Structure 1
Amino acid sequence: MIDFLKRTWAQIDLDAIRNNYKAIAQSLSYGCRAMAIVKADAYGHGAGFVSRTLRDAGVTWFGVSNLDEALQIRDEGISESILILAYTPPEHILQLAENNITQTVFEREYAQQISKAAVEAGVTVGVHIKVDTGMSRIGFFCQSENGIIKTIDEIEQVCALPGLYAEGIFTHFASADEEQDDGCTQRQFERFLKVIEGLSGRGIHFSIRHCCNSAATMRYPEMHMDMVRPGLILYGLSPAPWLQGMLSLTPAMELKTVVSMTKTIPAGTAVSYGRTFQSVGETEIATLPIGYADGYPRGMSNRAHMLVCGKRAPVVGRVCMDQCLLDVT
Structure 2
Amino acid sequence: MGPTIAQINHAHLIHNLQLIKQAVHPAGVMAVVKANAYGHGSVEVARTALANGATWLGVAFPEEGIELRKAGITAPILVFGAQLPPFFEHYLRFDLDLTLSARMQIEPLKDLCRRMNKKARVQIKVDTGMGRVGFLLEKDRDALLQILNEPAFEVTGVYSHLSSADEDDLGYTFEQVERFKAVREFVLKHSSTKPLFHLANSAAIMRVPQAYFDLVRPGVMLYGNPPGPDFDLQWDLKEVMRFVSRVAAVKELDANHPVSYNRRYYTSAKTKIAIIPAGYADGYNRRMTNTGQVLIRGKRYRIAGTVCMDQMMVDLGPDTDVRPGDEVVLFGPQGSDHVRIVEVARTLSTIPYEITCWVSARVPRIHINT
Q: Name the TM-score, length of structure 1 as normaliser.
A: 0.91
Question: Which stretches of structure 1, 4 residues or longer, exceed 4 Å deviation after superposition?
Answer: none
The answer as to 2:158 corresponding to 1:164 is no
- List alignment gaps of at least 5 residues for structure 1: 143-147
Question: Which has the larger displacement, 196-205 or 110-119?
Answer: 196-205
Give the match for residue 142 of structure 2: 153
1:316 aligns with 304
1:227 aligns with 2:215: yes
Which residue number in structure 2 is paired with residue 198 of structure 1?
186
Could you tell me how far apart the structure 1 residues matched to 2:90 and 2:215 are? Answer: 25
Q: Over aligned residue pairs, what C-alpha RMSD do you find?
A: 1.7
In structure 2, runs of 5+ residues without a counterpart are 318-370
Equivalence for 1:238:
226
**1:47 aligned residue:** 42
Superposition pairs of residues 271-310 of structure 1, within 5 angstroms: 271-310=259-298
- What is the rounded CA distance, in whole Å, between the counterparts of 2:232 and 2:10 in structure 1? 21
Q: Which amino acid aligns with 2:62?
A: L
Secondary structure of residue in 2 paired with 1:248: coil
| Equivalent residue, structure 2, for 1:17 | 13
Letter in 2 for 1:282: K
Could you say what secondary structure the match of 2:138 adopts? helix
Equivalent in 116, 119, 138 of residue 111 of structure 2: 116
CA contact (8 A) 1:90 1:117 kept: no
Q: Which secondary structure does the structure 2 equivalent of 1:316 belong to?
A: coil
3-state SS of paired residue (1:6): coil
Q: Does 1:208 align with 2:196?
A: yes
Q: Secondary structure at the match of 1:69?
A: helix
Question: Quick one: distance in 2 between partners of 1:217 and 1:279?
Answer: 48
Aligned sequence identity (%): 36
Q: Which amino acid aligns with 2:296?
A: V
Question: 2:289 touches 2:304 (CA, 8 Å); kept in 1?
Answer: yes
Note the C-alpha offset of 1:227.
0.5
Matches within 5 A, 1:37-186: 37-140=32-135, 142=136, 148-180=137-169, 182-186=170-174
Q: Give aligned pairs, total.
A: 317
State yes or no: 1:27 paired with 2:23: yes
Superposed CA deviations along residues 146-194 of structure 1, whole A, max 9, x for unmatched, are xx321323211222234211121100011111223x1121111122222
Contact 2:121/2:153, CA 8 A, preserved across alignment: yes
SS in 2 for 1:328: strand
Return the letter of the residue paired with 2:17.
Y
Q: Normalising by the residue count of structure 2, what TM-score does the alignment of the two structures yield?
A: 0.81
SS of corresponding position for 1:70? helix
Q: Which residue of 2 aligns with 1:8?
A: 4
- Per-residue displacement from partner, 1:131-159 (whole Å, max 9, x unpaired)? 1122222111x3xxxxx321323211222
- Distance in 2 between residues matched to 1:322 and 1:132, nearest whole Å: 43
Amino acid at match of 2:255: A
